[in-house]
Structure 1
């Protein structure tokens, strides 16, 4: 399957640079893959499309200030470090720039030496395993020295750092936000629960697997990097109850989708589980865990647009993206959203 099948023209001015003042005021495109219809709504209208007995699944990961700017201890050269995944104790898998300057035993200092990182292992694609050396509490030091890891297509700084967090963010560990959840407010979640919609949480710490670009021509040749997930017992029980009662499981974002599909694949049912997932979902994949999804508009030729295409059918999704461009929807992390209703099981 050629990567060009997931390409589309996107005017640069449609890439949202800042969040809306009101989270739930984003636009919402509602897709029905069975009837091949599209509706244009506002995100607060999501209450009209979720029913009593449905279960809305949210990713409660919290973004850490994972971008650090330091210097090589021996030469003073500037080095940028993005923390991806905590390996064990004080060792982190990171992206470093420029990678060619960071070899094994290279020492990088941050904040006038308050934090130091020693390169222990060189990996591919600019990744390194760094051992962090410091005195005190690492999270407190990171909060002082680190920067919010906004995607490269966002050019400015974010005045309120909490706007790159969901209102339900809880467990620290992500290098990027699960952006489909940015549209929810506490009030909107309260209204959904008052209607009889159940709310459940999983955790997937977003790392390189989610936002790494596809660099191969054939989709099947791409390999996802693993990301850590956790499903608590309460969520597993609620999902099983929802399925038994005939309700829909509605995933908020691709990180939730990947977590639920991984667990369903590995265990055949929903059960408490944690581990690492490198699941890669693209057209031809048969969904087992979810019945509907909420997702943002994604980058051309990305694994995320492939994942959504596997749910809707590629042709229909690309038509929807062309309409979104024509209707001037806002794209990517701070952009607008889609609600995609349940599909036939034989949809491809």
Structure 2
């Protein structure tokens, strides 16, 4: 299986640079995973494809303002840090640009010394462990100094930080938003719940894998970065109850999908607990829990495109993407959505 098998033509102007005013007014392409047939709708019509007794699984992670721009102590050189994963209280795994200037012992000052980071270790993949020193509460300082870590293909500045958070974001820890969830409003979720759909929440803190392209020719040689996930017992029970009763498990976003598939036992039931997952889902994968997926339109040759191809088949997905390009759907984080069932 070659990475180039998952390529498609995407005009640059279809990459959405700004979120829509009304979250639920984006477009929705419904794809039948068995036949490959599609329908064009508006996102709020997603309700037409849900049934009483289904379970909608949300990822309630919250994006932290993880992008920090500071100065190297001694030279004043500009250095940018992206916080990826908290290792211990004040030690984080980070992505540093430019990396050449960030050797162990290097100190970087943010906000005129309000926060100081010291590089303590260079990892094999080039990431750095950084130890922070500060006065006060780290989260409050980060809120003051940090920027939302928008993906590299979004060049516009985000006017409202909340537009890169889902309305149900709860637990801080992500370096990127679970973007399929950005289309939901509180009103739409209430409507879905009132029609008898069970809503379950899981947590996966989205990390570096979101930004990292597949650089190997053979898909099987690609290694996913691990990300922390947690499934509470009450939420696992909700999913398993729906499964037992013959309802469908529909995930909002690839992160929710990867969480429940990581937490599933061999019988397709979700186990409560937490841990790190580096699960890589590509064609040939047999889904244990998931029946359907709500997701955005993904990058050519990306692991996310491979995941949706595992669910609906590569030919069906690439044909649907060709249709989306023809119909000028908006792509990526602030773009339009698909429901694959």
The offset of 1:8, in angstroms, is 0.8
- Paired with 2:9 and 2:126, the residues of 1 have a C-alpha distance of 29
Within 5 A, what are the aligned runs for 1:79-158? 79-158=79-158
Within 5 A, what are the aligned runs for 1:4-43? 4-43=4-43
The offset of 1:267, in angstroms, is 8.2
Contact 1:97 1:126 in 2 (8 A): no
The equivalent residue for 2:328 is 328
The offset of 1:265, in angstroms, is 4.7
User: 1:42-90: CA deviations, max 9, x gaps?
Assistant: 0000110000000000000000000000011021111000000000110
User: 1:118-170: CA deviations, max 9, x gaps?
Assistant: 11110144310000111110000000000010111111111111000000000
My pick for the range that moved more, 204-213 or 2-11, is 204-213
User: 1:5-41: CA deviations, max 9, x gaps?
Assistant: 0111110110000011000001000000212200000
The equivalent residue for 1:246 is 246
CA RMSD of aligned residues (A): 1.0
Within 5 A, what are the aligned runs for 1:186-225? 186-225=186-225
The equivalent residue for 2:273 is 273
The equivalent residue for 2:306 is 306
In structure 2, relative to structure 1, the CA distance for the partners of 1:166 and 1:71 (3 Å cut) is: same
Aligned residues: 341
Structure 2 residue runs without a partner (length 5+): none
- Paired with 1:338 and 1:273, the residues of 2 have a C-alpha distance of 29
My pick for the range that moved more, 137-146 or 29-38, is 29-38
In structure 2, relative to structure 1, the CA distance for the partners of 1:126 and 1:46 (3 Å cut) is: same
Contact 2:119 2:129 in 1 (8 A): yes
Contact 2:165 2:182 in 1 (8 A): yes
Q: TM-score, normalised by structure 2?
A: 0.98
In structure 2, relative to structure 1, the CA distance for the partners of 1:206 and 1:120 (3 Å cut) is: same
Contact 2:265 2:271 in 1 (8 A): no
In structure 2, relative to structure 1, the CA distance for the partners of 1:267 and 1:139 (3 Å cut) is: farther
- Paired with 2:267 and 2:135, the residues of 1 have a C-alpha distance of 42
Say if 2:47 is the partner of 1:58.
Answer: no
Q: TM-score, normalised by structure 1?
A: 0.96
Structure 1 residue runs without a partner (length 5+): 342-348
* SS of residue matched to 2:263: helix
Contact 1:87 1:93 in 2 (8 A): yes
In structure 2, relative to structure 1, the CA distance for the partners of 1:267 and 1:225 (3 Å cut) is: farther
Structure 1 stretches of at least 4 aligned residues deviating more than 6 Å after TM superposition: none
User: 1:98-135: CA deviations, max 9, x gaps?
Assistant: 01110011111100011000111101443100001111
User: 1:184-211: CA deviations, max 9, x gaps?
Assistant: 0000001101111111100000001233
